[in-house]
Amino acid sequence: MKKKDRLSKWKKNEKFSLVFESPMDSEFEKFLKKRNSDSEEEDSLRSNYDLMLMTRELIFDIKKGVPVFHYICPMVDSIQFKLSYHHLLDSVIEGDEKKREREVINTLGLATALEVPIYPNNEKVEEDLANYYQKLIKNGFTAPDEQGNDVKLVPVNSKKMEDFKIDKFSKIDLTKFWSPTDLLMLKQVVKDEFLKLNNAHRTLTMLELAIEQLENLLDISKRNENSLQKCITENPILLGLDYAKIIPKHKLGAEFEVDYALEKFNGLIDLMEIESSNLSIFTKQGNPSSYLVHAEQQVIDWLDWIEKNNSYARNGLEGLISPKGFVIIGRSSSLTERTKASLIRRNKAFNGNITILTYDDVLIKAKSLRDILKIEKN
Note the pLDDT of residue 120: 93
Contact between 161 and 121 under an 8 Å Cβ cutoff? The reply is: no
Alpha carbon distance 173, 175 (integer Å): 5
Query: Dihedral of CA 348/350/352/354: which sign?
Result: negative
SS3 266: coil
Alpha carbon distance 142, 106 (integer Å): 6
Residue range 256-265, pLDDT digits in tens: 999 999 998 8
Residue range 108-154, pLDDT digits in tens: 998 988 889 999 999 899 889 999 998 998 888 887 766 667 778 88
Q: Are strands 354-357 and 325-328 parallel, antiparallel or unpaired?
A: parallel
Note the pLDDT of residue 85: 79
Looking at this protein, which amino acid is placed at residue 172? I
Q: Specify the higher pLDDT residue, 215 or 15.
A: 215
Q: Domains of the chain (ranges plus CATH)?
A: 6-158 (no CATH), 221-363 (3.40.1350.10)
Q: Give the pLDDT band (50/70/90) at residue 92.
A: very high
Alpha carbon distance 135, 107 (integer Å): 12
How far is Cα of residue 20 from the mean position of the Cα atoms in its chain?
47
- Over range 239-254, report the average pLDDT: 86
H or E element, residue 279: none
Provide the b/e sequence for 168-195 (b: ≥16 CB within 10 Å): eeeeeeeeeebbbbbebbbebbeeeeee
Contact between 285 and 218 under an 8 Å Cβ cutoff? The reply is: no
Closest to 292 measured CA to CA, from 301, 303, 282: 282
Closest to 81 measured CA to CA, from 156, 25, 4: 25
Note the pLDDT of residue 21: 38
Looking at this protein, which amino acid is placed at residue 127? E
pTM of the predicted model over 0.85: no
Q: Give the pLDDT band (50/70/90) at residue 275.
A: very high
Return all residues near 351 (Cβ < 8 A) that are at least 6 apart: none
Percent of the chain with pLDDT over 90: 37
